[in-house]
């Protein structure tokens, strides 16, 4: 089996993980959570998002989170539009995530624009961010399936990825937004993307709705992917993707990879400690495999 010797984990728990949480998590808990995740060895992380608190109330303290948690690691802030990007540029942040869904229906539900309209709006924004020396991450939603349109042809995902690469983005985070992809589909799509777009960082982002996230990650490893978005505690879900459950749990992915001899640079005990900080403030219990085992077996 041809697998990478080292994998980079991009922690998305503080942003993607918490955005759909019903209980508002106090800012001091968010800060402790983020700092504990960094202490566990996670060097790249989505801290928060500059979105309207009307639509995503959990992110209403985004500015304070950024001010408290920015450091030398790659701290990514999601900014879906011009207003959000302007807010990022008023901070010391140097890593920005933008996003577009391959599916027009998803895009319309999410930001009230078609995919093409979103791209046109983002072109000058990405150009400005690059001129200012920012790292730009493009999150490609509904890369496999859409909750409104069903299966997405791989060619459409590739086409959108190509357009972002032409804009000059540094990274593509290609997402199975509703967790419907299977390992065969994951291997085929990421093999195609690796072959076609060799000069951009490719990251796989899987949700565990149907308990296939680990299998999809293994298939992606075999396709040559060595970067994965994961969420501590398996937190997550999307307010605009009905039925989507949490992301692949960071602790489960790290455990699997380390058992396979693949270095992640992440400390499992530190991860569990980080999840323990946020768990009492959530509306649901944490039931990911590794976390549950470590917190119930003495």
Q: Which 3 state secondary structure label does DSSP give 281?
A: helix
**β 150-151/145-146 pair status:** antiparallel
**Residues with catalytic annotation?**
238
- Among candidates 259, 251, 290, 218, which has minimal Cα distance to 42? 251
Return per-residue pLDDT of the chain as tens, 298 residues: 889 999 999 999 999 999 989 999 999 999 999 999 999 999 999 999 999 999 899 999 999 999 999 987 899 999 989 999 999 999 999 999 999 999 999 999 888 899 999 999 999 999 999 999 999 999 999 999 999 999 999 999 999 999 999 999 999 999 999 999 999 999 999 999 999 999 999 999 999 999 999 999 999 999 999 999 999 999 986 555 555 568 999 999 999 999 999 999 999 999 999 999 999 999 988 988 898 888 875 4
User: Quick one: pLDDT at residue 243?
Assistant: 52
User: Quick one: pLDDT at residue 298?
Assistant: 47
Q: Where does the chain have alpha helices with state H?
A: 27-39, 62-69, 82-89, 104-111, 115-131, 154-167, 183-196, 213-222, 250-259, 268-278, 289-296
Between 82-89 and 62-69, two packed helices, what is the crossing angle to 10 degrees?
A: 30
Rounded CA-CA distance 196/161 in Å is 10
Tokens of 170: 């540094």
Q: Which 3 state secondary structure label does DSSP give 139?
A: strand
What's the half-sphere exposure (Cβ side, CA atoms, 13 Å) at 126?
Answer: 23
Rounded CA-CA distance 162/102 in Å is 12
Which pTM value belongs to this model? 0.95
Domains of the chain: 8-296 (3.20.20.70)
């Amino acid at each position: 089996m041809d697998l990478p010797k080292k994998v980079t984990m991009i922690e998305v728990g503080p942003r993607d993980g918490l955005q759909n949480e019903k209980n508002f998590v106090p800012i001091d808990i968010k800060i402790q959570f983020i700092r504990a995740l960094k202490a566990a060895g996670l060097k790249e992380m989505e801290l928060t998002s500059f979105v309207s608190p009307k639509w995503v109330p959990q992110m209403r303290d985004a500015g304070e989170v950024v001010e408290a948690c920015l450091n030398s690691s790659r701290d990514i802030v999601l900014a879906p539009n011009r207003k959000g990007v302007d807010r990022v540029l008023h901070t010391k942040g140097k890593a920005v995530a933008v996003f577009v869904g391959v599916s027009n229906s998803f895009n319309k539900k999410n930001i009230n624009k078609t995919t093409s309209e979103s791209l046109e709006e983002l072109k000058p924004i990405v150009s400005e961010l690059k001129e200012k020396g920012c790292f730009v991450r493009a999150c490609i939603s509904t890369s496999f399936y859409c909750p409104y349109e069903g299966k997405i042809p791989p060619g459409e995902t590739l086409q959108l990825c190509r357009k972002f690469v032409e804009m000059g983005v540094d990274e593509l985070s290609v997402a199975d937004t509703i967790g419907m992809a299977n390992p065969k589909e994951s291997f085929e799509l990421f093999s195609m993307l690796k072959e076609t777009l060799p000069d951009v960082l490719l990251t796989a982002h899987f949700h565990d709705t149907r308990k296939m996230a680990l299998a999809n990650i293994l298939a992606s490893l075999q396709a040559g992917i060595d970067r994965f978005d994961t969420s501590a505690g398996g937190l997550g879900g999307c307010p605009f993707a009905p039925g989507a459950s949490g992301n692949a749990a960071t602790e489960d992915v790290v455990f699997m990879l380390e058992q396979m001899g693949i270095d992640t640079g992440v400390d499992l005990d530190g991860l569990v400690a980080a999840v323990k900080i946020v768990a009492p403030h959530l509306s649901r219990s944490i039931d990911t495999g590794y976390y549950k085992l470590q917190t119930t077996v003495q």
